[in-house]
Structure 1
Amino acid sequence: MKEFKLEDNPKITTGFVTPDNYFEDFSAKFMQNLPLNEAPEVKVIPLYKRRSTIISLIAAVFVIALMLPIFNQSPAVTTSAEIDQASLENYLSYQTNMSQYDLINSLETEDLENLNETTTTALEQETIEDLLVDNGNLEHYIME
């Protein structure tokens, strides 16, 4: 490969030439092209001539004001005064700080009477024996 030296190769001219005295006369020519301190006249449209615009704006504000109560209404929440039994049992079963004795103490006499009336299931002797034989936690039942 031949050696390449930048100084030896012929230079290409750019083709752009600045006119004579361009930079000396630039500020004077620029100041001549600027307009004097006169601002252009601005067209002013008075509002009283645009009554249709004002009427439409008032109508839009009126419609929005009427629609606000409709948008702010929350959907009707159907809450029942009574708690369903499954959610109550789940709540009580996951409360670790509440024991069976706390539950018994919180029951009123009416609740106890209702429990006695609703739980009238008679177990046969054989069913009880089968449950005790199959279940290994007899100490748990005895302690309770």
Structure 2
Amino acid sequence: MKEFKLDNEPNISTGFSVPENYFENFSAKLLQELPKEEPKVISLFQKRKKLLFAAAAVLIIALSLPIYNSFFKTTQELDNASIENYLTYQPNITQYDLISEMEANDLVSLNETSSADKAVIEEHLIKEGNLEQLILE
């Protein structure tokens, strides 16, 4: 390959030339070409501001509903004694009406929570004189 020496060979011109005093007057010309009024800046946050406030309001309401319900509970829970007294003093309600209204899971839970032992029940039935009447009911 031929050896290339930059100092010996003639230089190639780039074809570009800069006008005289171009860089001295550059900043003054640039300031003249800039617009006099600054453009209006529109924030991206302001477009979504209403949406963010609405989401925050929904979140606050959703979180405060359980607290509101716990403070302002208007219904009173009935205890077992008052229910039992009500059913005792109602002459038109029979035990068959009560049984027909009970669901299967209520009957299972009633059997699980009964405190009577089978031996005690058998002893009571033996001592009871009207065993046949109880069986017929």
In the superposition, the TM-score normalised over structure 2's length comes to: 0.38
In the superposition, the TM-score normalised over structure 1's length comes to: 0.36
